[in-house]
Amino acid sequence: MNEATTMNKLWRAVSATMVFVAMLLLVYGVHARFFHVDVVLYDALLDGVLACILSAAVLWRGRWLAMLGGFEKLQLAAIWLLLAYGFAISVPTVIDRSLSFYILEKLQQRGGGIQLARLDEVFVREYMPEHRLVEIRLTEQLASGTVRLDGNCVRLTQRGQHLASFSRYLRRNFLPRQRLLMSDYSDALTDPFRHDRPSPGYEC
């Protein structure tokens, strides 16, 4: 294969990827604005898969990628899916979940500054109700099959038990042990339950 053919293939692959990115933004934008969304992350991932299918159908049918071999097309589709995954995780999910963005937005709302000693109050009294945090996270867990509602009780499913155990294992063994928390380095977040408080009696 000569250099000109290689460059032509590369140019077509890059151009096709730009088409895919435009299709992804279009599909996500239409879905987010006009259709029901159950869980932001899951639906954004589905949007990425749909954008990949539509882009492949348009570009391959139009023979823009005819000079690429079957394996090269498969690689290109894999790259598109990875881009879609990166988008789903890094844009809508981060905006939806990010406490860091919330702090910045809340500081802006309150004129640019909030007393450090009262930030806990902001999180409990404003962040949770404004973002309907309990409802959103519970909806996600119900959709994931990790919890179930039993009357007025939220219970772990078998899948939830396994995932919780896996999460605690990763937290204890893979999170940084010298993490900066304000002005001190600490391993507190590798086991946040180490100083477990007596239960308030909310079990069921």
> Letter for the amino acid at 21?
V
pLDDT at 6 over 80: no
Please tell me the distance from the alpha carbon of residue 139 to that of residue 192, in angstroms, as a whole number. 24
Residue 194 lies in a domain: no
Model confidence over 88-134: pLDDT tens digits? 999 999 998 888 999 999 999 999 999 999 999 998 899 989 989 89
Region of residue 9 (phi > 0: left; psi between -120 and 50: alpha; otherwise: beta): alpha
For residue 66, the enclosing domain spans 3-96
Mean residue pLDDT of the chain comes to 89
Q: Is-above-0.75 flag for pTM?
A: yes
Distance CA 92, CA 80 (A): 17
**Plot region of 120 (φ>0 → left; ψ -120 to 50 → alpha; else → beta):** alpha
Of 55-69, 90-104, 131-145, 182-196, give the lowest mean pLDDT range: 55-69
Same domain as 125, residue 92: no
Does residue 202 sit within a domain?
no
Residue 16's CB is within 10 A of a number of other CB atoms, namely 23
118 and 152 both lie in a single domain: yes
Domain tally, the chain: 2
Q: Residue 202 — pLDDT band, cuts 50, 70, 90?
A: confident
Judge if 10 and 36 occupy the same domain. yes
Quick one: CA dihedral 60, 34, 44, 165, positive or negative? negative
For residue 1, pLDDT over 70 is answered with no
Number of neighbouring beta carbons within 10 Å of residue 42: 15
Does 118 lie in the same domain as 89? no
**What angle (nearest 5°) sits at the alpha carbon of residue 102, between those of residues 38 and 170?**
70
Cα separation of 140 and 145, whole Å? 9
Whether 82 has a pLDDT exceeding 80, the answer reads yes
Given a cut of 80, whether residue 204 has pLDDT beyond it is: yes
- Both 57 and 121 in one domain: the answer is no
